[in-house]
C-alpha cells in the first residue's frame, strides 16, 4: 500500500495538472477554439511533464475516455454515413489511399536514410490511431519510444491546426455557439445510467475483440446502431465529455517526456518536416473533395486531417460540418492502416535490409 506521503505527492501533482489544464482550456475557450477542453489539457500535460512532473493516466481511465468519446461520436452519426460510403466511395477511396501512400513514403524515407531505425518510420508516420500504431509497432520491429513521440507529436500538430482552422473558418459567433454555456445542465438520470451501461459493455466487447482502439470503436458502433434505429436516446452531458476529452489530452501530452525528446532530438527536424508534408498533402486532398464532391472546405479539411480519429472527431463535433462524411473518411483510413500496417512494415524491413539501412534479422 502506498505511503501517505506518496499519495499526497501524487494528489498534489494531479492537482497541479488539473489547475494548469483549466487555465489553458479556459483561455482557449475565450478564443472560441473548438475542442478547447481537449487541446487545453494536451498542452498543459506537455508543459507539466517537461517541467519534470511525473504522472501517467491509468489505462482504465484512458480506455474510459476513449469509450465515451466513441459513444458520443456514434450518437451523433446518422444512417447517412452508409449513404456517404455508397455514393462517394470512389473519391473517398482515392483520397484515403493517397494520404496513406504519402504517409508510407514519408515513413520509408525516414527509415531508408537512417533518420529513425528499422520500421519506426512506417509506424510513426501512419496517419491515425496513434495508440494502436504504438502497440502494433512493438510487435513489428519499431522503436516504441520514437513511434510514440512521432504519433503524439502529429496529434498535437493536427489537433491544434484543426481547432484553429475551424475557429477561423466558422467565425466568432458560430464558434461561441459550439462552446457549452452550462457544464452542468439538468440531466435525465435514467438515460445517463443507461448510456454509461451501454458504453461500458460495448467498450468491453471492443477490447475482447482485440481490434485496435476497440474501446472507442465498440461504443461508436453500438451508439450509431442504437441511436440511428431510434432504440436508445443517449445522454452525454457536457461535464462528462469534458472529463473524457481531458483524459485523452492528458494521455497524449504526458507522452512528451524529456527522455523522449532527447531520444528524438537528432531526428526532430525531419520528423516535423514529414508531419508538415503529410498535413500539406491531406489539405491538398481536401481541395480535391471540395472540387469533385462539392463538400464544404471545413468538412473536407477535417475529413482528410491525418489523425487521430478521436481528436479530429472532437473538433468536428464542435463545428458546423458534415460529421458523417468526416467520420466515414476517417474510419475508412483507420481500417486501411490496420489491415495493411503489418504487411507494409515487413515490406519496408525487407527493402531496408537490402540497402543496409537496417541489419538483417539473421545477421547476414
CA distance 39 to 253: 9
CA distance 107 to 102: 9
pLDDT at 239 over 90: yes
In a domain, 8, yes or no: no
CA distance 250 to 42: 5
Cβ contact 42:156 at 8 Å: yes
- What are the CA-CA distances from residue 3 to residues 7, 9, 10, 17 (Å)? 6, 10, 11, 21
Least confident of 22-26, 224-228, 329-333, 343-347: 343-347
pLDDT of residue 342: 67
Q: Which residue in this structure is represented by grid cell 534479422?
A: 361
pLDDT of residue 360: 40
pLDDT of residue 112: 83
End-to-end CA distance of the chain: 50
CA nearest to 283, candidates 308, 314, 312, 304: 304
Cβ contact 56:17 at 8 Å: no
Average pLDDT rounded to a whole number, residues 58-82: 86
In a domain, 212, yes or no: yes
The parent domain of residue 265 ranges over 69-235+257-355
What is the dihedral sign for C-alpha 176, 182, 188, 194? positive
Greatest mean pLDDT among 117-131, 232-246, 253-267 lies in 232-246
Average pLDDT rounded to a whole number, residues 345-360: 59
H-run or E-run covering 116: none
Work out the mean pLDDT of the chain and round it to a whole number: 83
Least confident of 2-6, 51-55, 240-244, 317-321: 2-6
CA distance 337 to 306: 12
CA angle 218, 221, 224 (to 5 degrees): 140
In a domain, 283, yes or no: yes
All residues at 6 or more sequence positions from 179 whose CB lies less than 8 Å from its CB, including other chains: 29, 32, 36, 318
pTM for the complete prediction?
Answer: 0.79
In a domain, 251, yes or no: no
pLDDT of residue 177: 47
pLDDT of residue 214: 85
In a domain, 15, yes or no: no
Average pLDDT rounded to a whole number, residues 264-287: 92
pLDDT of residue 135: 64
In a domain, 57, yes or no: no
Residue 64: band (very low, low, confident or very high) from pLDDT cuts 50, 70, 90: very high
Cis peptide before 137 (omega within 30 of 0): no
Q: For residue 243, what is its C-alpha cell?
A: 472529463
- What are the CA-CA distances from residue 115 to residues 178, 265, 274 (Å)? 41, 11, 11
> Which DSSP string corresponds to 27-89?
HHHHTT-TTHHHHHHHHHHHHHHHTT------HHHHHHHHHHHHHHHHHH--THHHHHHHHHH
H-run or E-run covering 91: helix 80-112
In a domain, 314, yes or no: yes
Least confident of 8-17, 131-140, 298-307: 131-140
Query: Beta-carbon neighbour count of residue 70 at 10 Å?
Result: 30
**Domains of the chain: total:** 1
The region, left, alpha or beta by phi > 0 then psi within -120 to 50, assigned to residue 32 is left
Amino acid at each position: 500500500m502506498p505511503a501517505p506521503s506518496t499519495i499526497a505527492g501524487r494528489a498534489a501533482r494531479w492537482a497541479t495538472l488539473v489547475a494548469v489544464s483549466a487555465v489553458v482550456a479556459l483561455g482557449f475557450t475565450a478564443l472560441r477554439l473548438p475542442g478547447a477542453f481537449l487541446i487545453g489539457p494536451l498542452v498543459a500535460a506537455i508543459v507539466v511533464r517537461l517541467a519534470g512532473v511525473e504522472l501517467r493516466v491509468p489505462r482504465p481511465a484512458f480506455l474510459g475516455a476513449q469509450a465515451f468519446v466513441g459513444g458520443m461520436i456514434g450518437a451523433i452519426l446518422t444512417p447517412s454515413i452508409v449513404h456517404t460510403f455508397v455514393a462517394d466511395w470512389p473519391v473517398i477511396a482515392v483520397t484515403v489511399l493517397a494520404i496513406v501512400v504519402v504517409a508510407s513514403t514519408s515513413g520509408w524515407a525516414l527509415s531508408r536514410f537512417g533518420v529513425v531505425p528499422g520500421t519506426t518510420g512506417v509506424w510513426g508516420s501512419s496517419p491515425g490511431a496513434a495508440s494502436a500504431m504504438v502497440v502494433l509497432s512493438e510487435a513489428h520491429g519499431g522503436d516504441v519510444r520514437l513511434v510514440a513521440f512521432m504519433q503524439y507529436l502529429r496529434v498535437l500538430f493536427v489537433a491544434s491546426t484543426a481547432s484553429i482552422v475551424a475557429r477561423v473558418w466558422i467565425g466568432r459567433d458560430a464558434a461561441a455557439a459550439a462552446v457549452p454555456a452550462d457544464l452542468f445542465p439538468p440531466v435525465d438520470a435514467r438515460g445517463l445510467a443507461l448510456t454509461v451501461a451501454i458504453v461500458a459493455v460495448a467498450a468491453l466487447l471492443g477490447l475482447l475483440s482485440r481490434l485496435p482502439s476497440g474501446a472507442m470503436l465498440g461504443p461508436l458502433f453500438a451508439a450509431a446502431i442504437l441511436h440511428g434505429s431510434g432504440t436508445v436516446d443517449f445522454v452525454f452531458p457536457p461535464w462528462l465529455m469534458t472529463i473524457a476529452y481531458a483524459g485523452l489530452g492528458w494521455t497524449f501530452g504526458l507522452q512528451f517526456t524529456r527522455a523522449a525528446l532527447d531520444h528524438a532530438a537528432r531526428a526532430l527536424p525531419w520528423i516535423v518536416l514529414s508531419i508538415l508534408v503529410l498535413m500539406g498533402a491531406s489539405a491538398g486532398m481536401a481541395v480535391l473533395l471540395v472540387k469533385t464532391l462539392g463538400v464544404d472546405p471545413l468538412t473536407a479539411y477535417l475529413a482528410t486531417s491525418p489523425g487521430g480519429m478521436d481528436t479530429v472527431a472532437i473538433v468536428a463535433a464542435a463545428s458546423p460540418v458534415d460529421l458523417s462524411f468526416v467520420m466515414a473518411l476517417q474510419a475508412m483510413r483507420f481500417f486501411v492502416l490496420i489491415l495493411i500496417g503489418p504487411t507494409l512494415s515487413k515490406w519496408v524491413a525487407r527493402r531496408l535490409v537490402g540497402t543496409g539501412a537496417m541489419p538483417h534479422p539473421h545477421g547476414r
